[in-house]
Amino acid sequence: MAAFRILLADDHEVVRKGLCALLTSQPDWEVCGEASDGRDAVEKAQKLRPDVVILDIGMPSLNGLEATRHILKANPGTKVLILTLHDSDQVVREVLNAGARGFLLKSDAARDLVAAVEALRRDKTYFTSKVAAMVLDGYLKGGTATSPVLPGRNRLTPREREIVQLLAEGKSTKEVAVALGLSVKTAETHRSNIMRKLQLHSVSDLVLYAVRNNIVHVVQAGVEQQG
């Protein structure tokens, strides 16, 4: 019987090692690759073609939501499980909109990770009871009362969202161009279009927008806060 192959992406090595130990304790489960940021996860998913990809939502270079979109566009049959520290209604909706099949709080991973991955292996979805209740409540309300108002976000293209993340992480326009394989002029044009679309006037405004919309995570008081 062929091994069930899993790609694991988290920017903290100690977290990856802990999750790997849980996953490889299962018969016929194999962690075929690890990634430390979203862009690396996308590249390895395309190369390794795993059955399931486990993504931390708050990774550098490319966050877990955007990585999910890239991975599923290249291989729609791949199943994605998102790990996050927070379970706000906004985050849940964005995870679902990105196409992930499962959502798991990091605080529940030690107890529920194997069950979550097993559900995806059986072509089911997996949500913790709290998240499932939140999703159901949102749909029963027609998705209006609890839908976040995110001016401009839905108007951004996937490439523009990538650029927002890189700029918010402190990359220069030239560094963005190199990271995405663009000319500097094209990167500058994208940046200008983004600022105009979002009606932002400075890099600090862009950073604030990216944090509020879970495009990047922020470190405060020595504790990392992730979307």
The 3-state secondary structure of 34-94 reads EECCHHHHHHHHHHHCCCEEEEECCCCCCCHHHHHHHHHHHCCCCEEEEEECCCCHHHHHH
Average pLDDT rounded to a whole number, residues 37-66: 94
Same domain, 103 and 157: no
Total domains in the chain come to 2
Q: Which amino acid is at 157?
A: T
Which candidate, 133, 189, 138, 114, places its Cα nearest to that of 159? 189
Task: Report residue 137's pLDDT band, with 50, 70 and 90 as the boundaries.
Answer: low
146 is a domain residue: no
Looking at every residue in the chain, the average pLDDT score rounds to 83
Same domain, 121 and 202: no
Q: What is the pLDDT of residues 71-88, one digit of tens each?
A: 999 998 899 999 988 777
Would you say residue 171 has pLDDT above 60? yes
Same domain, 32 and 132: yes
148 is a domain residue: no
Q: What is the pLDDT of residues 84-124, one digit of tens each?
A: 887 777 787 788 778 888 889 888 899 999 999 998 998 88
Do residues 94 and 47 touch, judged by C-beta distance below 8 A? Answer: no
Same domain, 136 and 159: no
147 is a domain residue: no
145 is a domain residue: no
CATH number at residue 202: 1.10.10.10
Same domain, 125 and 65: yes
Residue at token pair 């663009």: 182
- pLDDT at residue 144, rounded to an integer: 37
* CA gap 218, 169 in Å, rounded: 9
pTM of this structure:
0.69
**How distant is the alpha carbon of residue 49 from its chain centre?**
18
